[in-house]
Amino acid sequence: MSAAAIEVSDLRKSYGEVEAVRGVSFDVARGEVFGLLGPNGAGKTTTVEILEGYRRRTGGDVRVLGQDPQDGSRELKERVGIVLQGSGFYPRLTVGEAVAHMAKAYPHPRDPRETIALVGLEPQADTRAGRLSGGQQRRLDLALALVGDPDLVFLDEPTTGFDPAARRGAWDVIRTLRELDKTVLLTTHYLDEAQALADRVAIVKDGRIVAEGPPTELGPASGTYRVSYLSGDRRVEHQTDDPTDLLHRLTGDALARGERLEGIEVARPTLEDVYLELTAEDEPE
Amino acid sequence: MSSAALAWQQFRLERKLFWRNPSAAFFGFVLPMVLLLLLASTVASDPEDLDILIPGIAGMSVMGTTFNSMAYSLTFLREQGILKRLRGTPVPAPAYFAGFLGNAVANAFVQVGLVVLVGHLLYDVTWPRDWFELVVFTIVGVVAFGSLGIALSHFIPNFDSAPAYVNAIFLPAILISGVFYSAESLPASISGVAEALPLKHVIDGFSDAIIDGRGLGHEFGALAVVAAWGAVGLFLAIRGFRWDDER
C-alpha cells in the first residue's frame, strides 16, 4: 500500500476544445489537510470531481487510496466522504433520518447521533432538511459525508456563502477531521481558509498548479516585502525584494535629516500577496 | 449491507417521502378517485359507460403514478444534486433504482386496486374476470410508462418547467386514449395517434381483464405495443441518463 492518500500526475481534462486541467501533479499524504486554492474557473472542481470518480480524465494518472477512481469501485466509495458544491438531500427527511439512512450504506459507519453532534446539528436533529439554514445544510452535507467513517474526505468549497460565524463553525469541524486522522482535500477560493486549515496548499490557475507548499512558506517565497512609515500624516509605502537594503537607505536618510520614521512597518509577504501575484489576470503568459 | 437490503431501505425511504409530499399523494391517489367519482356520478353513470370509465381511470392511474412521477422526481433529484450525491456513496445504482422504481410500482398497484375496488363497491362493476391479465398489464404498463418518464426527464431543463413538459404529453394522451369515453368514437386521424401510443393499449388490456375476460391471448397485440414502448423507453432512459445537472 502506498503512503500517499492521493497521487495525481500530469492530470489533464478537456471539454471539446477547452482544456480545463492542463497537467496537474500533486500528492496528498495520509492524515494531511491539503488545499487547492484558486479563483473560480481555475480547474479546482474539475480536478476534485475526477478524484471523486464523477468525471473521466483525458490524460495523466490518478490514484485515490491506491485505486483508480474512474473504476467506480464500491470498496473505494466506502472509504471516501464527499461534500459537493451545493448539493442537497431529500428536503422532507429530518437530519436524523437522513444521516441514519446514509449510515446503512457503509460497512463500518459512525454512530449517526454522534455524527450529528460532531457537526453541531444536535438541536436540529428532528428538523427537516428543507427547513435548515444555508449553513446548517452544509453541516448536514458534512455529516452525510462523515457518517461512513471515511479515511479520506473531499470538501469542495465547504464555506462558500457562509456568514463569518458559520465559517468559523465549519473550520472547527474540519480541524476535528484532522484530529480524527482523516485525510482532507479541500478546495477554496478563500485565502484565509486555506491558511487556517491546510497543511499544504497548491495554487491553481488556468488549469495548472502555479505554486505549492505550506501556507507559511509560500509567502516568503514571493519576496515582495512592504515597508511603510508616516511622513506628516501621510503613509508612504515602498515595495521591495530586498528589505534589508531598503531599510538601510530609509533609516540612513532619515538619520541624516535628523528625522524619525514614525509608525514604521515592515510587512512580510502573505499568502494573499503570493496569490494575487500568481493569479493576476494582466500578466503576460 | 447487501444490495437487496439497500434496495429495501431505499424503497422504505421512498414510501416515507411519498406520504410526506401532499401534492404527490394528491395527484397520485386523490385526483384519479375524484375524477372517477365525479364522472361516474354524472355523465358516465350507465353500466356501459362505467365499463369504459373504470379501465380508463385505471390506465390513467398507471400513467400518472409512473410516467408523471418519474419525470417530476428525477428532474427534482437531479436539480437538487441528490442523484449526484448518491452517486458518490457506496449504494450500487441498481439497488438505488430498484427502491426508487419499486415505489412507483407500489403506487401503480395500489391505485389500480383502488379503482377496481371503488368500481365494484360503489358502481357494481364486476370483480376483474382475469386477475392475471390485470397484473400483467399493470407490470408492463409500469415498465413502459416509468421508463418513458425517466427518458422525458432527460429533456426537462429544470423542475419549474417539469409540469409543462409532463402535462403537454399526459393531458392529450388521456383525452385521445379512451379514458373517459370509448376511443372507438374518435375520428380516425386521432385514434390512429392513440393506436400508436401505449396508453390506449394498457386501457384495452385492463378493459379485457376487468370487463370482458377473454384472456391475455386476445389482447396479445395490445401487450406487444406496450412492451415495445417499454423497450424504447428503457433504451432512452438508460442512454440519456445523467447524474448531475451539467450539460
Q: Establish if A276 belongs to a structural domain.
A: no
- Cβ–Cβ gap B82/A87 under 8 Å: yes
Contacts of A19 (CB under 8 A, 6+ apart): A12, A13, A207
What is the spatial distance between Cα A167 and Cα A160, in angstroms, rounded to a whole number? 9
Cβ-defined contact of B82 to A78 (cutoff 8 Å): no
- Within an 8 Å CB–CB cutoff, is residue A176 touching chain B? no
Residues of B in contact with A84 (CB under 8 A): 81, 84-85, 88
The answer to whether residues A131 and A104 touch, using CB atoms and an 8 Å cutoff, is no
Answer whether A44's CB lies under 8 Å from A155's CB: no
Kindly state whether residues A116 and A248 are assigned to the same domain: no
A151 touching B (Cβ < 8 Å): no
Residues of chain A neighbouring B1 (CB-CB closer than 8 A): 104-105, 107
Q: What is the mean pLDDT of residues B175-186?
A: 80
Chain A closest-CA separation from residue B239 CA (Å): 17
Which cell goes with B177? 386514449
Closest CA to B43 of B181, B179, B173: B181
Most A CBs within 10 A among B73, B89, B243, hence the mutation to make, goes to B89
- A169 and A94 in a common domain: yes
Find out whether B240 and B153 touch, Cβ atoms under 8 Å: no
Integer Cα distance of B155 and B81 in angstroms: 17
Decide: helix, strand or coil at residue B160.
helix
Work out the average pLDDT over B94-101: 92
d(CA A157, CA A140): 15
Of A74, A102, A104, the CB nearest to B92: A74
Same domain, A256 and A207: no
For residue B23, the chain A residues in CB contact (below 8 A) are none
Could you tell me the pLDDT band of residue B103, with boundaries at 50, 70 and 90? very high
A81 and A214 inside one domain: yes
CA angle at residue A82 from A78 to A86, to 5 degrees?
150
Residue (of B19, B22, B12) closest to B100 by Cα position: B12
Tell me, what's the ipTM?
0.84
* B90–chain A nearest CA distance, Å: 5
Instruction: Give CA separation, B130 vs A10, A97, B81, B124, B195, in Å.
Output: 65, 42, 44, 17, 23
A112 Cβ under 8 Å from any chain B Cβ: no
Q: Lowest-confidence range among A148-152, A224-228, B112-116, B242-246?
A: B242-246
Task: Mark whether A176 and A122 lie in a shared domain.
Answer: yes
- Chain B positions in Cβ-Cβ contact with residue A91 (cut-off 8 Å): 80
Q: Which of A142, A51, A126, A43 is nearest to A89 (CA)?
A: A142
How many C-beta atoms surround the C-beta of residue B49 within 10 A?
18
Mean pLDDT for the stretch of residues B44-57: 86
**Site of grid cell 454522534:** A114
On whether any CB of chain A is under 8 Å from the CB of B158, the answer is no
Evaluate whether residue A249 is within a structural domain.
Answer: yes
- Identify whether A277 is part of a domain: no
A210 CB-side CA count, 13 A: 20
In terms of Cα–Cα distance, which of A147, A145, A75, A142 is closest to A109? Answer: A147
Copy the grid coordinates of residue A246. Answer: 531598503
Residue A236 forms beta bridges with which residues? A229
Question: Across the 285 residues of chain A, what is the mean pLDDT of every consecutive 10-residue run?
Answer: 83 91 94 90 90 93 94 92 85 95 95 92 93 86 93 89 79 87 90 88 90 78 76 83 86 88 80 73 48
Residue B205: strand pairing partners: none
| Pairing of the two strands A18-29 and A208-213 | unpaired
Same domain, A128 and A232: no
3-state class percentages of chain A: helix first, strand second, coil last, to nearest 5: 35, 30, 35
Rg for chain B, CA atoms, rounded: 18
Residues A138 and A237 placed together within one structural domain of the fold: no
Whole-number pLDDT of residue A9: 94
Domain range enclosing A138: 4-219
Do A229 and A211 lie in a common domain?
no
How many residues in chain A? 285
* The model's pTM: 0.83
Cell numbers 442523484 correspond to B83
pLDDT of A223 reads 65
Nearest-neighbour CA in chain A from B137: distance (Å)? 32
Q: Is residue A255 part of a domain?
A: yes
Q: Phi and psi at residue A184, in whole multiples of 5°? A: -125, 130
Spatial distance between the Cα atoms of B151 and B155, rounded to a whole number of angstroms:
8
Please give the interface size between A and B, counted as residue pairs whose CB atoms are below 8 Å apart. Answer: 62
Å from A6 to nearest chain B CA?
A: 17
Any domain includes A111: yes
> Residue A177 falls within a domain, yes or no?
yes
* Length, in residues, of chain B: 247
CA distances from A98 to A60, A103, A105, A188 (A): 37, 9, 12, 26
Considering the domain boundaries, does residue A281 fall inside one?
Answer: no
Looking at residue A80, which CATH number applies to its domain?
A: 3.40.50.300
Looking at residue A266, its pLDDT comes to: 83
Q: Is A275 domain-assigned? A: no
Other C-beta atoms lying within 10 Å of the C-beta of residue B102: 17
CA distance A171 to B71: 39
Write out the H or E segment, with its range, that includes residue A71: none
Helix/strand/coil (H, E, C) string of A232-245?
Answer: CCEEEEEEECCHHH
pLDDT value of position A283 = 45
Query: Please, which residues bridge with residue A67 across strands?
Result: A64
Residues A197 and A233 in one domain: no
Residues 214-243 of B with CB under 8 A from A: 243
DSSP output for A166-204 = HHHHHHHHHHHHHHTT-EEEEEES-HHHHHHH-SEEEEE
Are B85 and A89 inside 8 Å of each other by CB? Answer: yes
Name the β-bridge partners of B236.
Answer: none
Touching check for B88 and chain A: CB below 8 Å?
Answer: yes
Predicted pLDDT at A285: 42
pLDDT band at B247 (very low <50, low <70, confident <90, very high): very low
Q: What is the bridge-based pairing of β-strands A225-231 and A262-267?
A: antiparallel
Q: For residues A190 and A157, what is the distance between their CA atoms, to the nearest angstrom?
A: 9
Q: What is the mean pLDDT of chain B?
A: 89
Q: In terms of domains, do A258 and A142 share one?
A: no
List CB contacts (< 8 A) between A75 and chain B.
90
Using the beta-carbon criterion (under 8 Å), do A84 and B84 form an inter-chain contact? yes
- Residue A140 and residue A29 share a domain: yes
| Residues A245, A110 share a domain | no
Which residues are CB-neighbours of A106 under 8 A, at least 6 positions away? Answer: A78, A147, A148, A149, B90
User: Which SS3 state, helix, strand or coil, does residue B214 take?
Assistant: coil
Counts for chain B of helices (H) and strands (E), in that order:
12, 0
Output A50 or B195, whichever has higher pLDDT: A50
For B23, counting Cβ atoms within 10 Å of its Cβ (0-12 exposed, 13-18 middle, 19+ buried), the class is exposed
Structural domain count of chain A: 2
